[in-house]
Amino acid sequence: MNNPRRRRVLTLAGIAAGLLTLAGCAKDAPQDTWQPAGPNAEMIDNLQQPVFLVAGIVGVIVMAAVAWAVFRYRDRGQAIPEQTHGKPAIEITLTIIPVLILIGVAIPTTSTIFDLAKTDDTEMVINVTGQQWWWEYDYPAIGDNADKYGLSQPIVTSGQLVIPENTKVLLRVTSRDVIHSYWIPKLNGKKDGVPGRVHLLRLEGSKPGIYAGQCTEFCGLSHSYMRMETIVLKRADFDVWVANQLAPYESPAEGTLAKEGESLYIQQCSRCHQVNGLADAEGNLIVSAPEQYVVSGAAPNLTNLMTRITFAGASWDLLTQQCRDDVWKASANEFGAKYLSGVSADCLNQKDLREWLRNSPEKKPMYVDPTKLQETNGKYRGMPALGLTEDQIDALVAYLLERK
């Protein structure tokens, strides 16, 4: 009986040690919390690694003590032990040691808490708004954003947050409905987006690349499908991205399938999904009004859909597997160009996009059943199935492919 117990203790100690040493070697783990890629996450990592180590050592010591007691003092017919009620010296020593260890942990913890909360050297501000079940990013055209980063107009995008390398970006996180939480593990810890409140979260990436994240506050039915990425671009690439986003709208050429798609889009989609510059037959600009149809009052802006490489709460790829890997696994130097090339006709992941257009609530659970919308006065929570024909889907896909 004693041997299995010792073995178990050794196994547990082994697991603890294994965790400590090997987790750092994880390959291609998009949300690994131990692979920081920016100063904020590094600050956290520098704090937590010693804490994990100390905790691991204390754990091994306690388990060794248990194992030794179990082995050494098992009943081998020894006399009934002295009925001692404790030794104050041991008690006090073994209380003071953990107190000292914890003081040693508390001091750097406190200073890191305040360091992470610093905002006075912010270089760029982005408003980040969660709603069921996607993130909206709004780059206001004010202050340094306009003066230093060329944002002559605000940019509104979703799913993928694009930021310049080595720039102290301040996210102003909030929500339009329930509580969500913005989390890009390799760049910083998480921060809740709470309706009615604005919380500040600093992001800074020190290497170009795509950093995955996920909403981490339970936010209802499709919480699992509320993902996001943060894209870090070299400064020059970021300028190209800004220029792309602000480029004027180009209507598809007459007679093309995409042109058909445009009128279908105006009919079916533009009530909720804004495309900047899109105009109706009389030339009047179309302003979407999602607040009339959706509980949160917002739907993703699709002006530059195909510059993003994921859609529907970053839950599905717009790129086929091969093209996706090409971008996600690109080296820091090549990443910018590959990301900026967006989604081409050859690379488009037709399957998921078409499934989405065919019946979105089947792909991603959403509250769109008209019989169950009394509480919301008929407003949807999510995107309803539009009942499109395959031909209509062809036309829409052709139109959307040009949204770059």
Partner 1 sequence: MAIIERPSTEIAVAGGATVGVKPSEALGVFKRPAASNSWRDWIVTVDHKKLGIMYGVAAFAFFIIGGVEALLIRLQLMGPDGKVLSADQYNQMFTMHATTMVFLFVMPMVSAFANYFIPLQIGARDVAFPRINAFGFWCWLFGGIFLNTSWFLGGAADGGWFMYAPNSSTLFSPSHGVDFWVLGLQITGIASLTGAINLIVTVLNMRAPGMKLMRMPIFTWMALVVQFLLLFAMPVITVALFLLSFQRTFDATFFDVAAGADPLLWQHLFWIFGHPEVYILILPSFGIVSEVIPVFSKKPLFGYPIVAMSGAAIGFVGWGVWAHHMFASGLGPVSVAVFSMATMAIAVPTGVKIVNWVMTMWGGKLKFSVAMLFAIGLVVQFTIGGLSGVTHSVAPSDTQQTDTYYIVAHFHYVLFGGAIFGLFAGFYYWWPKMFRKQLNEGLGQWNFWLMVIGMNMTFGPMHILGLQGQPRRMGVWTEARAGEGFFNIGFWNMIASIGSLILAVGVLLFIINIVYTHKSKRVPIAPLDPWDARSLEWMTSSPPAEHNFDAIPAINHLDEFFHRKYAEDPTTHEIKQVATAEEVLADMNAHPDEHIHMPSRSYWPILVALALPIICYGLIYNRLLMAVGAAFLLLTMFGWAMEPSTAPDDDFDPPAPSEGGGHTKELAPLG
CA 365 to CA 382: how far, in whole Å? 8
Query: Which one of 215-223, 236-244, 331-339, 384-392 is the stretch in contact with partner 1 (CB under 8 A)?
Result: 215-223
- If one asks whether residue 110 binds partner 1 (CB under 8 A), the answer comes out as yes
Site string for partner 1, 306-345 (x = CB under 8 A): ---------x-x----------------------------
Give the nearer residue to partner 1 in terms of CB position, either 8 or 235.
8
Cis peptide upstream of residue 134 (ω within 30 degrees of 0): no
Decide: helix, strand or coil at residue 385.
Answer: coil
Which residue among 129, 145, 160, 222 contacts partner 1 (CB under 8 A)? 222
Q: Which of 155/215 has CB closer to partner 1?
A: 215
Please, which of residues 6-65 interact with partner 1 by CB under 8 A?
A: 8-9, 12, 15-16, 19, 22-23, 25-34, 41, 43-44, 47-48, 51-52, 55-56, 58-59, 62-63, 65
Its sign, for the CA torsion 313, 287, 359, 372, is: positive
Bridge partners of 155, per DSSP, are: 139
Binding test (CB under 8 A) with partner 1, winner from 7, 153, 218, 390: 218
The reply on whether position 202 binds partner 1 by CB under 8 A is no
Residues in contact with 138: Cβ distance below 8 Å, sequence separation at least 6, in sequence order? 126, 127, 128, 129, 154, 155, 156
Closer residue to partner 1, CB minimum distance, 67 or 393: 67
Position 194 contacts partner 1 (CB under 8 A): yes
Residue closer to partner 1, measured from CB, 5 or 354: 5
Tokens representing 141 are 């055209």
Q: Which of residues 114-173 bind partner 1 (CB under 8 A)?
A: 114, 116-117, 132
CA distance 23 to 18: 8
Structure tokens at 9: 């203790």
To partner 1, the closest distance from the beta carbon of 266 in angstroms equals 30
The minimum distance between CB 193 and partner 1, in angstroms, equals 9
Provide DSSP, 330-342: --HHHHHHHHHT-
Crossing angle (nearest 10°) for helices 39-72 and 88-116: 160
Residue 385 as a binder of partner 1 (CB under 8 A): the answer is no
CA 44 to chain CA centroid, nearest Å: 18
Residue 4 identity (one-letter amino acid): P
Contact flag: residue 297 with partner 1 (CB under 8 A): no
User: Applying CB under 8 A, does 255 fall inside the site for partner 1?
Assistant: no
